[in-house]
Amino acid sequence: MKVKVIDESHEKDLENSVNNFLNSGDFDIIDIKFQVAIATSGEEQIYCFSAMIIYN
Protein backbone atom coordinates (compact mmCIF):
# COMPACT_ATOMS: atom_id res chain seq x y z
CA MET A 1 0.00 0.00 0.00
CA LYS A 2 1.24 3.51 -0.83
CA VAL A 3 0.15 7.11 -0.22
CA LYS A 4 0.33 10.12 -2.55
CA VAL A 5 -0.32 13.59 -1.09
CA ILE A 6 -1.13 16.47 -3.44
CA ASP A 7 -1.38 20.10 -2.31
CA GLU A 8 -2.54 23.06 -4.39
CA SER A 9 -3.66 26.63 -3.74
CA HIS A 10 -6.64 26.44 -6.14
CA GLU A 11 -9.32 23.75 -6.33
CA LYS A 12 -9.07 23.43 -10.14
CA ASP A 13 -5.29 22.90 -9.83
CA LEU A 14 -5.93 20.12 -7.31
CA GLU A 15 -8.50 18.57 -9.61
CA ASN A 16 -6.01 18.58 -12.50
CA SER A 17 -3.19 17.19 -10.34
CA VAL A 18 -5.35 14.37 -8.97
CA ASN A 19 -6.61 13.48 -12.46
CA ASN A 20 -3.05 13.49 -13.82
CA PHE A 21 -1.89 11.19 -11.03
CA LEU A 22 -4.84 8.82 -11.47
CA ASN A 23 -4.15 8.58 -15.21
CA SER A 24 -0.40 8.13 -14.78
CA GLY A 25 -0.33 4.51 -13.69
CA ASP A 26 -2.09 1.19 -13.38
CA PHE A 27 -2.95 0.85 -9.69
CA ASP A 28 -5.94 0.15 -7.46
CA ILE A 29 -7.31 3.16 -5.58
CA ILE A 30 -8.26 2.27 -2.01
CA ASP A 31 -9.41 5.70 -0.84
CA ILE A 32 -9.09 9.43 -1.49
CA LYS A 33 -9.25 11.95 1.35
CA PHE A 34 -9.89 15.64 0.64
CA GLN A 35 -9.20 18.64 2.87
CA VAL A 36 -9.43 22.44 2.67
CA ALA A 37 -7.55 24.78 5.00
CA ILE A 38 -8.11 28.53 5.15
CA ALA A 39 -5.80 31.08 6.79
CA THR A 40 -5.70 34.83 6.83
CA SER A 41 -2.70 37.07 6.34
CA GLY A 42 -3.74 40.66 6.95
CA GLU A 43 -6.84 41.09 4.81
CA GLU A 44 -5.88 38.28 2.42
CA GLN A 45 -7.38 34.77 2.67
CA ILE A 46 -5.08 31.89 1.81
CA TYR A 47 -6.58 28.57 0.72
CA CYS A 48 -4.89 25.19 0.71
CA PHE A 49 -6.65 22.33 -1.10
CA SER A 50 -5.14 18.89 -0.55
CA ALA A 51 -5.87 15.27 -1.34
CA MET A 52 -4.37 12.07 0.00
CA ILE A 53 -4.67 9.11 -2.32
CA ILE A 54 -4.22 5.64 -0.82
CA TYR A 55 -3.48 3.00 -3.44
CA ASN A 56 -1.89 -0.35 -4.20
Residues of the chain with pLDDT under 50: none
pLDDT of residue 23: 96
What is the value of pTM for the model shown?
0.86
pLDDT of residue 51: 98
Domains of the chain: residue spans and CATH:
2-55 (3.30.1660)
Give the chain's mean pLDDT: 96
Cβ-contact 32, 52 below 8 angstroms: yes
8-23 burial, b for 16+ CB within 10 Å, e for fewer? beeeeebeebbeeeee
